[in-house]
Structure 1
Amino acid sequence: MTKKDLPKFCYRKGAKGYVYFQRRGGKTQRIHSEPGTADFAAEYAMLLRGRQPTPAKTMKGLIASYMESSRWTDLKPVTQKGYRRHLRYFEDVIAAVDPRTMKRVHVIEMRNALADTPTDANRKVGVLSVLFEHAIDIGWINQGANPAKDVAKLKSTKPKREAWPSEMIAAFRREAGPRPLRAFELLLGTGQRVEDVRTMRWDQIEDDGIRVRQSKTSNGIWVPFTDSLRAAIASMPRHGETILAQENGKAFAYQTLWADIMAVRKKIGAERWDIHALRHAAASEIAALPGMTDEHIMAITGHSSKEMAQLYAGAARQKARAMEAQKGRK
């Protein structure tokens, strides 16, 4: 169906060709039913009367309702980005399913079907649980009837993430070109997540450090520069508002930074240690210093719990304590 075949005030948008309704000056609203169907006609009629159409009681309708709720709008943009991928998956595989017919066994079957990617499977179950909590909120299912709640997580088959060892950090610095090295030094020196490093701006630098508002937690922290980071910052060209910027002034995309660093990892044989492990490395370097506590680590990484700080710094702290303990032995 082309634009001329759609009723008044309707148009298609996006790669998937979703249909939207908008009067001049009015709110843009997506029509979730297929054009030409009775459900589409019912949604369109409601919108013409200025009323919000009630989504069909399907998983697709539940997703639509959820994405218009405060449960969705209150999420951080970075969380929304992650959720969207899982919501698209549900739209592809269970769009027409009535949420009231979903049982725990169905959720477990879906989880098990994705067992070759356990982390992804567990995240999908988590998002599904959020969807069913919204279904309870709007009265589609009864309180306590969330079939995805407390479903056991699959154990990851990936090796436990470890901090970058000092010899690999030295190898990266030796072999990397200017662009990946700048990203590497910012990641390691600040101990922040990739998204926060990617969007760091020049005007956040103050008092020989950088002020960061973490996208995941909204925590505001100030991180002083290390000697290595100070030198790296001094050598960086200013192309735009962000510290890591292309020559046209635009911030680098996550995928570009990942590819840059991955190329060097392959060159030096560091595929085992990913970008996020640089955050672990920062915590480990702090933990290995005399007198450093969980609070010192949390002050840099922005973690809100000692458990996470201990997780990130565990191996380095154990090594430092073991060395101290052995000093008095013969």
Structure 2
Amino acid sequence: MAKRELPKHVYRQRNGIYFQRRGWPSQKFSSPFGTPEFWKEYSDILSGEHPPKRVISRNFTALIAHYRKSPRYKRLKPRTALDYDKYLDFFQSIMGEVSPLGMKRKDVIRLRDANAEKAYFANYSLRVLRVLMEHCVDLGWRETNPAKGVPELKTEKSEREPWPLGLLDAYRTACALGTRERLVMELCVGTGQRIGDVLEMRWSDIQDGAFVIKQNKTGKELWVPILPELRTALSSASRHSLFILTNERGTNRWSYRGASQAVRNVRERIGALDYDIHSWRYNAACELVEAGCSDDLVAAVTGQSPAMVLHYTKKVRQRIRAIEAQQKRTEQKQNV
């Protein structure tokens, strides 16, 4: 059988007759060439009734895979990369075979609004999509980023606050010394560091009665003396690993997800769901201000910028100043 006898896009191979077209997967005919059934198959393919699935090399699956190999992704902090992965997997699940070349601003807005009831998810997915589509532009796949300039959903933001003293006492009562749940709290409150830095702490970081810390986010190096409460918690902890906080098998450091879930379980038991694991950093900063420390002294422990010290302590600072003001007011009246 000569090729010229075959219709367009049909080729003879050793094991049969195939429909082969650029951009389409190869498809074998089930009926012998020249039979009515063969021509029916061929007609169906061309008419689109039973077309083979198009192969799109520039789809979201390929874009996400390329992004994960890029310096832009590899520069992310481990915690941020973990967050990004959740949204990248989400994009791949809903539009993996779709080409990003056809995405328009209205599509981005539609995707954002489809998750409007979960505002945090909608806004974070928009941020990740914006980064992903910027990478698409850098690859030369398209000229513009359709997610750029799309506003996030407005939400009623409740400001994080430090744990009330009563709930901290309840937490300590619920978690005995020697447990990871108790130790992670004492480390966060005692050192004033981010949870990511606390989970990285090693026993070798304790030098001359203090923690030697290099913050992941800022790169700042700190020397933070250990408070008595924290010293007691550390002396009750098991030392079977390089890391102070370890996974259940004691083979590696405790993951953020594992620590967060363990702390949440305690928060549920004691009725502290309004206060999370990050609020302990607020406790440290506020305790320092209440002790009369200047912003410079607070920053020496927490490693925060002056603006962040003010942000973390503005409510307790207002209370302290209000007490001072009312005392002066009372003294003035007494003098009169």
- TM (norm. structure 1) is 0.76
The answer to whether the 8 Å contact 1:78/1:216 transfers is no
Change (3 A) 1:40 1:283: farther
* One-letter identity of the residue aligned with 2:269: K
1:68 aligns with 69
**Counterpart check, 1:274 vs 2:283:** no
Cα distance in 2, alignment partners of residues 193 and 297 from structure 1 = 14
Larger Rg: 2
Secondary structure, aligned partner of 2:328: coil
Cα distance in 1, alignment partners of residues 80 and 172 from structure 2 = 32
1:48 aligns with none
The Cα offsets for residues 130-159 of structure 1, whole Å up to 9 and x where unpaired, read as 1122122121222xx212123212233563
The answer to whether the 8 Å contact 2:247/2:255 transfers is no
Change (3 A) 1:141 1:94: same
1:175 aligns with 174
The answer to whether the 8 Å contact 1:164/1:273 transfers is yes
Taking only the aligned residue pairs, the percentage that are identical comes to 38
The answer to whether the 8 Å contact 1:239/1:248 transfers is no
**Counterpart check, 1:160 vs 2:155:** no
Shift of 1:290: 1.6
Cα distance in 2, alignment partners of residues 217 and 226 from structure 1 = 24
Change (3 A) 1:259 1:140: closer
Shift of 1:116: 1.8
* One-letter identity of the residue aligned with 2:110: E
Cα distance in 2, alignment partners of residues 103 and 246 from structure 1 = 44
Q: Which runs of 4+ in 1 moved over 6 A?
A: 37-41
Cα distance in 2, alignment partners of residues 245 and 128 from structure 1 = 34
**Counterpart check, 1:125 vs 2:126:** yes
Matches within 5 A, 1:37-52: none
Change (3 A) 1:324 1:39: farther
Change (3 A) 1:263 1:80: closer
The Cα offsets for residues 105-131 of structure 1, whole Å up to 9 and x where unpaired, read as 211111111112212211111111111
The answer to whether the 8 Å contact 1:118/1:157 transfers is no
Matches within 5 A, 1:69-218: 69-142=70-143, 145-157=144-156, 159-178=158-177, 179=179, 180-218=181-219
Shift of 1:247: 7.2
2:328 aligns with 328
The answer to whether the 8 Å contact 1:239/1:247 transfers is no
Report the count of equivalent residues. 278
**Counterpart check, 1:57 vs 2:35:** no
1:289 aligns with 291
Cα distance in 1, alignment partners of residues 288 and 322 from structure 2 = 16
Q: In structure 1, list runs of 5 or more residues that go unmatched.
A: 1-36, 42-54
The Cα offsets for residues 220-257 of structure 1, whole Å up to 9 and x where unpaired, read as 32222122112222222212111123574323333433
Shift of 1:200: 1.0
Cα distance in 2, alignment partners of residues 246 and 100 from structure 1 = 43
Shift of 1:308: 2.6
Shift of 1:202: 0.2
Shift of 1:88: 0.6
* One-letter identity of the residue aligned with 2:312: Y
Cα distance in 2, alignment partners of residues 150 and 212 from structure 1 = 38
- TM (norm. structure 2) is 0.75
Shift of 1:289: 2.5
Cα distance in 2, alignment partners of residues 189 and 196 from structure 1 = 13
1:34 aligns with none
The answer to whether the 8 Å contact 1:239/1:246 transfers is no
Secondary structure, aligned partner of 1:329: helix
1:316 aligns with 316
Change (3 A) 1:38 1:218: farther
Q: In structure 2, list runs of 5 or more residues that go unmatched.
A: 1-20, 26-55, 331-336
Change (3 A) 1:154 1:306: farther
Secondary structure, aligned partner of 1:328: helix
